[in-house]
Structure 1
Amino acid sequence: MKIFSKEQIYEADALTVKRQNISTTDLMERAGTQIFNWIHARMQGAQVPVHIFCGIGNNGGDSLVLARHLITHGYHVKTYIVNYSDKRSKDFLINYDRIKSVTKDWPVLLTNDEAFPVINPKDIIVDAVFGIGLNRPVVQWVTALFDHFRASKAFTLSIDVPSGLYLDKAPEAINSVVSASYTLSFAAPKLAFFLPQTAQYTVQWGVLDIGFDQAYLNSVHTEAELIAKSEVLFLFKPRTKFSHKGQFGHSLIIGGSYGKIGAVTLASKAALSAGAGLVTAYIPKCGYTALQASLPEAMVITDVNETYISSIDIEIDPSVIGLGVGMGTDSKTVQALDVFLKSNKYPLVIDADGLNILSQHKALLKLLPPQTVLTPHPKELERLIGGWKDDFDKLDKVKAFASTYNIIVVIKGAHSITVFNNKLYINTTGNPGLATAGSGDVLTGIITGLISQGYDPLEATVFGVYLHGKAADIATGKYGYQSLFASHVIDYLGAAYVDLFKKPESQEREDDEENKGS
């Protein structure tokens, strides 16, 4: 699913009016009616007090349309105009006149914090104070109104975005944005819904189709894309009846040091479980027996050194190399990596201490082959690119970093984001159970195993991040968040693959009913 910028939403709005030969007022009526339909389908006439807070721009106009429809359908509605400026949009004024024609209970004008209405916990708040066009700090008394919303503990529905939330920068203050229980976002979700600093402002979100010009939405190139099952299904490479292991490549996992052989074991097992035909682990001698015993399906090559990697002497011809897990940063390991990168001709996936070495010796970044995949956690990322002032600044810095070295970077988090060629691929799977030792090693192995099978590095990364999160989602059904191990994620990778072709439960019920009828 595409995630549109503010400018693209404005363009979609203008093109829709032009191509569908309608007025901006007609489009506002459509938007407000769709919001009403969404609410009406869920409330079914329930007489719960609904407090609608309208701004004085187009977002407020949409909510005036909503208020009018709720009133004419007999709902208990109270409408307020949040008068933060003397300016009014044309369509707001048109709908302000229209609502006065259907009720004697005209909207209440709010001009300061002295007259905020009483809102009970069982009431409903509709927040339409600001839309995506906000470009200045929220005035103090409006911030106090948002605090009033929070204090009421009422269910809060935000229209398009939680009021006060920018689409391209973090808010000035934590309380200057509405805390929405649910946000109905026009056409597509907003990037801000997926970033740590801004995702906190909406518990849930949904997309509302208000009839924007579909040709434009389909053709426009977006900076960000949301990755769910429908997107990764197009990446999946099926196997034929006569497939054999030689067709699915040979993954080499290089890493490990004394006390950290488990990282290589996890990555190697994940590569196999992701579908690599063969996997070899290159480790120090101390890990030979442990790895051979714990993962008999993998082959093992040992370094001449007992406790850490001191040279990388490869006599096999791998399809891809996953490098860095548990490797340590001994000076001889750093020297070995330097020598290796200068002659390496294989695709790379780099994690953990591989990243730490790169951050300490940034000249090595120039030796990475095109589309090398880096999978840093937040601290590793900071060591690579430096600090950032907010999540949007972080994205800009990662895009610049990835472009400079022509590499792929995974920003790991609740919504892991793959960055390549100035584009963001935002993952939708995963859960807090992944905040556990070894889950990053597993991701490294999965991506390595996918590249081994012939997925190009970007496909492998986007698909691998999805599978990693989906396996964790399925596994938590048995283990919960707190008891999830990284090895459980590997155990459920098969279930994640199977889930790609599983119909939603609602579709299965419909199919069952049709089969019964036939």
Structure 2
Amino acid sequence: MKKLFLNTSKLDELACLKFGLSNEILMENAANALAKEVRKKVKKGVKILGVCGSGNNGADVAVALRMLSGEYECELFLAFEKQNEMLKIQLDRAFKLGVKQVKKIGKYRCVIDGIFGSGLNRNLDKKTVDLISSINEMKAYKIACDIPSGLNELGNSCGAVFKADITITMGARKIGLYSDFAKDFTGKIKLANLGLAGVKFEGETDTFKLQKSDMNLPFRNKANTNKSDFGHVFIVSGELSGAAQIAGKAALAMGAGLVSIVSESKNLITDPILMNAKEISEKMAYGALGMGLGKLDEVKKTELFKTLKSKKALVLDADMCYEKLTIELLKSKKDIVITPHPKEFSSLLELGGFGKFSVQEVQENRFELARAWSKKFPNVLVLKGANTIIAYSGNVYVMPYGSAALSKAGSGDALSGIIISLLAQGYTALDAAISGTIAHALSVRKSKQNNYSITSKDIIKGLKWLRKK
């Protein structure tokens, strides 16, 4: 996993104070990363544009244009009348080396964005919104310097956002690049070295980006085993029994030894690979419920929650996020992974005493709300989204491999089955959440189907062919 930071201004200061690197050295290295990307993707001799704001991001772009001048026809557009001292210095150098300042934006093969950095904390005026919007409409290869202009440090829009093909982020990765909203604007994210190794530049953090290598698959390396060695999972079926069956099949595909669908229905028909049961037995130690559960009468609900307290580990999803008794269960039991989507998390926040939050407010504050939740409850939170967040004990882990292909009914049910399967095979709650969410996302990454056609069946099938690479 890789470290994420809200902003890196303090890391820049430390690099200067502790290691003796000047701001200009850091800037030269940042600009060199931008210039390398241009050389890699854009044919020499064509016209390219740098759009500069008033601060150091604009200065980075000015330096990059200076480096590229002579190889490309470099033009520079100033978004604002005022510039800081560093930008003024770099503009003077760039202009002396042939970079041309333009008052009107024309046609270009490449545009480098240096209007704002991650410290943006205000709504943009109409002139700037129009500028960014007009650039977004251009058919050019678009590079964002550090963070796409218009995103704040939490990855929310300030009115308009530069839509990049690639973001070259400087020194260390920023949290704002990994919000759900930012996913449509960052393009590929690449880290630029500023002249010292990451272990020297970065400090301590409580936020991390997960990598494929963080997925630990439950390969069976021992020959002398039987099905009971891999756990007996129960899935509680409710009003929508199909959801439980999807979760059950995913649990089997991920390695659980036995999976029972628990239902009082006399007409329940399941796949022969799944076992049926009328009630939760003592042997069923690992349970997933909530998906398709619907409403329970109060007597059955009380009995159910009493039974759940005795189980080794649980996954709670969907309808369980609207139950008051869920909060008491979360307080009393550690080995639980709860997997809400934003609307369900909004309900949990209210039940948990955090106050009322709309879905939009949840999305705009995903990182901090998830972190606050994890400090109050001893379990693992999986807040589903385009970039799923896992939170535990104040630490936040971002799983960045989600795709639009997974936005389909049944996808979340499969995730619940995957996670409970790993819990049944001895994973900790945190490890099951990390490996489970990555496995879920990667299961359809190499599918040859159109992304709109993916179903839970494809997710379950894809689990069978997973590899870290």
- When normalised by structure 1's length, the TM-score is 0.81
SS in 1 for 2:165: strand
Question: Paired residue for 1:99?
Answer: 94
- Equivalent positions of 1:66-465 (< 5 A) are 66-71=64-69, 73-85=70-82, 88-89=84-85, 91-103=86-98, 106-108=100-102, 115=103, 117-120=104-107, 123-168=109-154, 170-173=156-159, 175=160, 177-217=161-201, 220-232=203-215, 235-236=216-217, 238-245=219-226, 248-257=229-238, 260-286=240-266, 290-291=269-270, 294-296=271-273, 298-303=274-279, 313-316=280-283, 318=285, 320-331=286-297, 332-341=299-308, 343-356=309-322, 358=323, 360-361=324-325, 364-366=328-330, 368-385=332-349, 386-388=356-358, 389=361, 391-465=363-437
Higher relative helix content: 1
Question: What amino acid is aligned across from residue 74 of structure 1 in structure 2?
Answer: E
Q: Report the alpha carbon displacement of residue 106 of structure 1 after superposing the two structures with TM.
A: 4.9
Give, in whole Å, the separation in 1 of the partners of 2:261 and 2:242.
12
8 A Cα contact 1:271 1:279, kept in partner: yes
CA distance in 1, matches of 2:121, 2:244: 49
Unpaired runs of at least 5, structure 1: 109-114, 304-312, 503-518
Q: For residue 55 of structure 1, what is the aligned residue in structure 2?
A: 53
- 8 Å CA contact 1:12–1:216 kept in 2: the answer is no
> 1:492 aligns to what SS in structure 2?
helix
C-alpha root-mean-square deviation of aligned residues, in Å? 2.6
Tell me the amino acid that sits aligned with residue 440 of structure 2: H
For residues 160 and 287 of structure 1, what CA distance do their matches in structure 2 show? Answer: 58
Distance change (3 Å), C-alpha of 1:458 and 1:44 = same
Deviation, 1:415, is 1.6
Unmatched tracts of structure 2, length 5 or more = 350-355
How far apart, CA to CA, are the structure 2 residues paired with 1:200 and 1:44? Answer: 26
Query: In structure 2, what is the Cα distance between the partners aligned to 1:31 and 1:38?
Result: 11
Q: Deviations over 1:93-113 (max 9, x none)?
A: 33223223322x5535xxxxx
Compute the displacement of 1:70 (Å). Answer: 1.0
For residues 344 and 9 of structure 2, what CA distance do their matches in structure 1 show? 37
Supply the AA of the counterpart residue of 2:458: H
Q: CA deviation at 1:486?
A: 0.7
Who is 2:438 aligned against? 466
SS of structure 2 residue aligned to 1:202: coil
Q: Is the 8 A contact 1:352 1:380 kept in 2?
A: yes
CA contact (8 A) 2:249 2:460 kept: yes
> Which amino acid in 2 is paired with 1:37?
K
2:41 aligns with: 42
Contact 1:181–1:203 (8 Å) recurs in 2:
yes
Counterparts of 2:11 and 2:196 in 1: how far apart (Å)?
A: 6
Residue 267 (structure 1) shift: 1.5
Identity %: 26
Shift of 1:20: 4.2
Task: Give the number of equivalent residue pairs.
Answer: 460
Give the counterpart letter for 2:142 in structure 1.
T
Q: Post-superposition shift, 1:379? A: 2.4
What's the offset of the Cα at 1:461?
Answer: 0.7
One-letter amino acid of the counterpart of residue 91, structure 2: Y
One-letter code of the match for 1:119? G
Q: Give the conservation status (yes or no) of the 8 Å contact 2:121–2:152.
A: yes
Corresponding position of 1:309: none
Q: Is the 8 Å Cα contact of residues 254 and 324 (structure 1) preserved in structure 2?
A: no
The CA deviation string for residues 332-354 of structure 1, in whole angstroms up to 9 with x for no partner, is 4423323324x424211111223
CA distance in 2, matches of 1:390, 1:153: 34
CA drift at 1:283 = 1.9
Deviations 1:176-228 (A, max 9, x none): x323233211244432233233333334332222334433356x332322222
Q: Distance in 2 between matches of 1:182 and 1:145?
A: 19
Write the distance in 1 (CA, Å) between the matches of 2:238 and 2:123.
51
Shift, 1:413, TM fit: 1.7
- Take 2:13 and 2:228, find their aligned partners in 1: how far apart are those partners? 51
